Structure 1
């Protein structure tokens, strides 16, 4: 190998290292956390945050809530309903367990929100009673119309199929994925279902360190 070839080889190696470090830093969100570990835990962060629609909701206490009312904490939005036979109780029980294993400083930055996809049956009273079985600090949101709920669900790319409410004991087709909302009130990403408790306990604190 000639001296020129060696010089070119060394320069190419240096550039590759610098480029690799730069990409890693970008993917890590300014050096915070390991992006591959986040993805392995099912946490998918968006390259650009998304604004939430201005939908008027009602919480489990019957109080009106605007979507910008979620600001100040990281929120995990789960679109489900209280009469759900399987996915919802399983997911909420997992979220309760995950929360119980997080360090206190992470718990302080996080809120769990059930957004009902069944406004026909999920009154604020029903939501509050149901969530109390899992964690009284879990929040519940519902809307006066399915259209408003669909507007929010579609905006965060977690759509659901409205039920035929004329049928007795109807069910609602919905996803088990969670929408991740940052403390600035914008969507930052998703958490894929099924949830992996152990990995999320390890990686959620890293996500919560982000601005």
Structure 2
């Protein structure tokens, strides 16, 4: 390696170190905890918060919900469906268990939402009946296929619409969760598979911030 190459390598290493320390300082200052511990828990924060699109969905009670108005609380959004044979019931069961592992103050700040990727079968009535098996506090959202797809794409959780002409069809979708802050913007993701023990350690510090 030449002297020039060594100099460039050293400069790059210094810049990377400075940037890393700066990011760590900013995140910690915002009350978001240790970035390394957050990543280890599967929490991936965006470098800059992302505004949600102006779209309206329907909740399990038949009320209209503007997705860019999911404010005042932190929200974890899971894109799934009630006829899902495996990932969805397992994820919702984990989220129910996670609630029991969180301090009361954190639970009060956190909203858990199932966004349907199967609008043909997931009526508000179906969502309400299904979510009651897990937790009455869970929110369910459904709507027109085009609206749901636009929402999913906007938060980088795309899914493949099913061939609804087939009996007992399934829908291919992600197991990741979307993190929405109390200001109504997307803050990041929780990567699947969910690790409740680590999330229970990191979520209180995250949602105590703004």
State if a TM-score over 0.5 links the two structures. yes
Bigger Cα Rg = 1
Name which of structure 1's ranges 21-30 and 195-204 shifts more when overlaid on structure 2: 21-30
- Measured in 2, the distance between the counterparts of 1:176 and 1:35 equals 22
- Measured in 2, the distance between the counterparts of 1:154 and 1:29 equals 30
1:90 to 2:109 alignment = no
Tell me the TM-score normalized by structure 1.
0.88
- Post-superposition shift, 1:178? 0.4
Q: Is the 8 A contact 2:114 2:139 kept in 1?
A: yes
1:168 to 2:167 alignment = yes
1:123 to 2:123 alignment = yes
Q: 1:8 maps to what in 2?
A: none
Q: 2:36 maps to what in 1?
A: 36
- Measured in 2, the distance between the counterparts of 1:146 and 1:41 equals 32
Provide the alpha-carbon RMSD of the alignment.
Answer: 1.7
1:69 to 2:69 alignment = yes
Q: State the secondary structure of the residue aligned to 1:108.
A: helix
Superposition pairs for residues 1-211 of structure 1, below 5 Å? 19=18, 22-30=22-30, 32-143=32-143, 145-211=144-210
Q: Which runs of 5+ in 2 are unaligned?
A: 1-13
Tell me the TM-score normalized by structure 2.
0.89
Q: Which runs of 5+ in 1 are unaligned?
A: 1-14
| Count, aligned residues | 195
- Post-superposition shift, 1:27? 3.8
Distance 1:124 1:36, change over 3 A: same
Q: Is the 8 A contact 1:29 1:210 kept in 2?
A: no
